[in-house]
Amino acid sequence: MSSYGNPAMTEHTKVDFGAERVDGETASTPGPTVLEKAAPRSERMATNKIECNACPVLCQISEGRTGACDRYANAQGRLIRVDPVVFLSRADAASLDKTNPANLTDTTIEFGAASPTQDSLADPSLFVTGIGASSTYPDYKPAPFIVASKRDDVDMITVVTEGIFSYCSFKVKIDTDRFLGPEQSNVRCQGEIVGHVTTAEYGSQMLSLGGVHHLTGGSKKEGRVTCDMMLALGNKQAVEFTIDGGASLVIRAGAAPIVDGVEEQRMRVGCGSATIGIFAKQWFDHVDEVVVVDDHITGVLTEHQAGRCLGMARSGLKIRGRKSTPGRYFQVANPGTGWGGTDIHDPLAIVEGFDPAVAKPGMRLLMVSTTGEHAQWYELDHDLVPRIAAMPDAVRRTVERIGENCEPSLATVLFLGGAGGSLRAGATENPVLLTRAIKQKLVNVTCGGAPAYVWPGGGITVMVDVSRMPDHAFGTVPTPALVAPIEFTMTYDAYRDLGGHLDAVRSLESVLANGPDHTEGAPLARRTLASNPDNPWPPAMPPMLG
Ligand code: SF4
């Protein structure tokens, strides 16, 4: 598995404002292209250069070179888009023709040619994503694609663009009870601070990574490393992190996290108290006491309400930590990577002893972690000292049942971006109307065809699971900022009412035949991918119509 964050890897090339790319790569790399009209040549620009005006960097690109973001190139004096526009089809992946290069993500399409997709020009099941669609700069231009379609006899409009996001971050949920580091600790990549540990959730540790502060508020190196880290994470690549005062991590969206070199297997079934509640009846008659070791709440069966309801006699076991309520204890140990997310490796370390007025020799004690990965069976000797003994089959089955109820541990990566700024001008001359229409649920927002959650309150703050987006959906520009696809879909009437760029509306057939408006008739290079089966289809039906 390759991973980002290894200092030995090649660093992303960065050029200064107005400079050409300097790493010697050329645009001869075969790949799908979208032709674009270059910006007017400035007087100081060499004659063999053209200026890319797709972002504020305004690269001056020499013949045969790419711009700083690798997305645009100078091909014989014409500004071309190196990668294709990604379309989604409702056809499932198995039915797409794998001999067709357009349907393979790792196959490139001949330079300058329209991709030979199997989709019909009139196929209403095609959806244009913002991936490869290009962005608009300055912002007052209409979005690259404003596409008309029909859904159930209703005229629809999808505004398609790539947004350039400075205000963006990734929220990462890591399904583990192991201690990754104190909350608020710095998270580092290649030694640079790129985020922090944030509030833990039920069964998961949480990281907040990237964001405008690290992209633009620190050193140049911090901004570059942050940007490259975000690109890799969003594009579902593995990224290495270290946490100050905590663990080292390898995170890849949709894959098991690797903590201190060990791949995590199970997400805990619940806290110690919840585990007692779930399994109390299955333990009844087979045990005299159960302690479920957990960094959050350690549970003690006979003291817990579940044991009391079953009429279980108290065992006299005394546990360390701070008692919260009967049978529920906080802070029995320090956080760590041992039993139940604590730092203990011998579970008896949290047992203070047994009350001799209550406990009896021969009592049976199960100590188990919240994932069932750790479990030990004891019997009290004549001095009321717990001695390890062979675990009965009936009890072992309950431990296995705990493991069976644990879900696989995953790292989940959500992109969070602020689309409430100038990007809106690509959709309408009166941007606040777009914001209001989204809040009124007249407009559906997707990112690369994946459903986006729009936060309540001001702005258009979208959140999307990168696992539901097509591969390689993100790009960067060296400002530094992240490039992410975004699509706004609504009825034609809603688009008209919010002051949309009606002059720029085109049919899907026109888009496929002519590319973006400013390409002057060049065919559109595209790649058609099967829609993620986990996503709704059509991907962009506004809630009021869905
Ligand atoms: S960074 Fe990319 S989009 Fe921006 S001007 Fe350079 S080539 Fe164009």
C-alpha 163 to ligand 1 mean position (Å): 13
The answer as to whether 326 is a domain residue is yes
Among 59, 61, 65, 479, residue to substitute to test ligand 1 (most atoms within 8 Å of Cβ) = 59
Q: Which amino acid belongs to residue 61?
A: I
Q: Considering 60, 83, 106, which residue would you say is the last residue of a domain?
A: 83
413 CB within 6 A, ligand 1: no
Q: Is the CB of 227 under 6 A from ligand 1?
A: no
Of 370, 388, 404, the residue that ends a domain is: 404
Q: Is 215 in the pocket of ligand 1 (CB under 6 A)?
A: no
* Ligand 1 mutation pick, 20, 477, 479, max ligand atoms within 8 A of CB: 477
Cα–Cα distance list, 530 to 151, 301, 412 (Å): 19, 51, 22
Domain final residue, candidates 52, 83, 114: 83
pLDDT tens, position by position, for the chain (546 residues)? 445 654 333 222 323 323 332 222 222 233 333 334 445 555 566 678 999 988 888 999 999 999 999 889 998 888 888 888 999 987 654 455 444 444 433 333 332 333 344 444 445 578 999 999 988 777 788 999 999 988 888 999 999 999 999 999 999 999 998 999 999 999 999 999 999 999 999 999 999 999 999 999 999 999 999 999 999 999 999 999 999 999 999 999 999 999 999 999 999 999 999 999 999 999 999 999 999 999 999 999 999 999 999 999 999 999 999 999 999 999 999 999 899 999 999 999 999 999 999 999 999 999 999 999 999 999 999 999 999 999 999 999 999 999 999 999 999 999 999 998 889 999 999 999 999 999 999 999 999 999 999 999 999 999 999 999 999 999 999 999 999 999 999 999 999 999 999 999 999 888 877 766 544 445 678 888 988 888 988 886 665 555
Inter-helix orientation angle 272-283/393-404, to 10°: 140
Question: Cβ(55) to ligand 1 under 6 A?
Answer: yes
> Is the residue at 300 inside a domain?
yes
Ligand 1, atom 2: nearest CA belongs to which residue?
Answer: 69
- Residue 328 within any structural domain of the chain: yes
User: Is residue 398 a part of any domain in this protein?
Assistant: yes
Q: Judge whether 406 and 266 are in contact, CB under 8 Å.
A: yes
> What is the rounded distance in angstroms from the CA atom of residue 298 to the CA atom of residue 325?
11
Number of C-beta neighbours around residue 496 at 10 A: 14
CB atoms within 10 A of CB 228: 22
Please, which residues have CB within 8 angstroms of residue 276's CB and are 6 or more apart in sequence? 290, 292, 299, 300, 301, 304, 306, 307, 327
Q: Ligand 1 test: best mutation among 57, 224, 227, most atoms within 8 Å of CB?
A: 57
Q: Is the CB of 477 under 6 A from ligand 1?
A: yes
Max CA-CA distance within the chain?
A: 96
Q: For residue 91, what are its two tokens?
A: 């056809």
**Is the Cβ–Cβ distance between 488 and 159 less than 8 Å?**
yes
* Alpha carbon nearest to ligand 1 atom 7, residue: 67
Q: Among 55, 81, 166, 483, which is best to mutate for testing ligand 1, by the most ligand atoms less than 8 A from CB?
A: 55
| pLDDT for 105 | 36
| Any atom of ligand 1 within 6 Å of the Cβ of 72 | yes
Euclidean distance between CA atoms 243 and 260, whole angstroms: 11
From 16, 71, 78, give the residue whose CB has the most ligand 1 atoms within 8 Å, as the site to mutate: 71
| Helix (H/G/I), strand (E/B), else coil: 135 | coil
* Distance in Å, CA 210 to ligand 1 centroid: 21
Report CA(58)–ligand 1 centroid distance (Å): 6
495 part of a folded domain: no
Ligand 1 mean position to 489 CA, how many Å?
Answer: 27
Judge whether 387 lies within some domain. Answer: yes
Question: Strands (DSSP E) along 233-272, which ranges?
Answer: 238-243, 248-251, 258-259, 262-263
Q: Which residue's alpha carbon is nearest to atom 4 within ligand 1?
A: 55
Ligand 1 atom nearest 51 alpha carbon? 5
Q: Is 82 close to ligand 1, i.e. is its CB under 6 Å away?
A: no
Q: What is the C-alpha to C-alpha distance for residues 485 and 474, in angstroms, rounded to an integer? A: 7
Nearest CA to ligand 1 atom 5: 58
- Residue 366 included in any domain: yes
CA 421 centroid distance within chain: 22
Distance CA 72, CA 185 (A): 38
279 in any annotated domain: yes
The rounded Cα 244 to chain-centroid distance in angstroms is 22
What whole-number distance in Å separates Cα of residue 25 and Cα of residue 13? 10
Contacts 24+ apart (CB under 8 A), 395-399: 395/283, 395/286, 395/287, 395/366, 398/279, 398/282, 398/283, 398/286, 398/366, 399/366, 399/368, 399/372, 399/375
Peptide bond into 480 cis (omega under 30): yes
Cβ pair 472, 527 in contact under 8 A: no
The total of structural domains in the chain comes to 2
Cis peptide before 538 (omega within 30 of 0): yes
Q: Structure pTM?
A: 0.84
**52 CA to centre of ligand 1 in angstroms:** 6
Which structural domain range is residue 48 located in?
1-83
Angle at 297 between CA 294 and CA 301, to 5 degrees: 90
Count CB neighbours of 13 within 10 A: 15
